[in-house]
Amino acid sequence: MKIQFYASRPVSERPLTSSAAATRSAACSKVPLHAFINQLFAGLQPLAMKRGSILLNGIPADLTISAEENMLAYVLWNLIKGAVNNTKSECVHIIALVKDDRTMICVKDVGAYYYHAISREYRKIQDAAEKLGGSISLDHEGIHGASISFSIANPPLAA
């Protein structure tokens, strides 16, 4: 049985004024995602070692996304840290899928009780994801494990 939980509000329900949108786009920078995740992994390595888990960065080295770096770090740090806290002697694998107008960053094998691991901070994480123009979803596939995904819009290509 496959269960999906979409944690963020639909885009149509998110309050976003034009000045907030302008501020968001002005603060965005190109973030090389593979190197960015490696930096987050470096900070989480002691916790992963304590839990007997390994961190695997499966994101292509040339993938970049446009986002406000500090807020992106907050979202991804908390999603990955929750996965590490909720696993023991496992591999926490992070991948990225790019499809036209969206990039989805997936933290795989987060464990059955992942939501409880991040529940204290969850609302803040969700709000930060939405400020980035993204959303968070949790996909639980029973014995096959679970994945948490952060999806963010790609900037439109210039003609």
The CATH number of whichever domain residue 129 belongs to comes to 3.30.565.10
Task: Identify the band that residue 124 occupies on the pLDDT scale cut at 50, 70 and 90.
Answer: confident
Q: pLDDT tens across 129-143, in order?
A: 999 999 988 777 666
**Residue 62, C-beta contacts closer than 8 angstroms, at least 6 positions apart:** 34
* Confidence bin at 87 (pLDDT 50/70/90): confident
Q: What is the pLDDT of residue 91?
A: 85
Q: What is the pLDDT of residue 114?
A: 62
Q: What is the dihedral of CA 28, 34, 40, 42, to 10 degrees?
A: -150
Share the mean pLDDT of the chain.
Answer: 78
Q: Coil, helix or strand for 78?
A: helix
Instruction: Kindly state whether residue 138 falls inside one of the protein's structural domains.
Output: yes
Name the least confident of 12-26, 64-78, 92-106. Answer: 12-26
Average pLDDT over residues 23-37: 79
Residue 16: inside a domain: no
Does the residue 108 lie in any domain?
yes
Which residue range is the domain that position 142 belongs to? 3-8+29-153
The answer to whether the CB of 92 falls within 8 A of the CB of 107 is yes
Does a structural domain hold residue 49? yes
What DSSP letter does each residue of 5-48 carry, written as one string? Answer: EE-SPPGGGS---HHHHHHHHHH-EEEEHHHHHHHHHHHHHHHH
Number of domains in the chain: 1
User: In terms of pLDDT, which residue wins out, 6 or 82?
Assistant: 82
Within a domain: 21: no
Q: Is the pLDDT of residue 3 over 50?
A: no
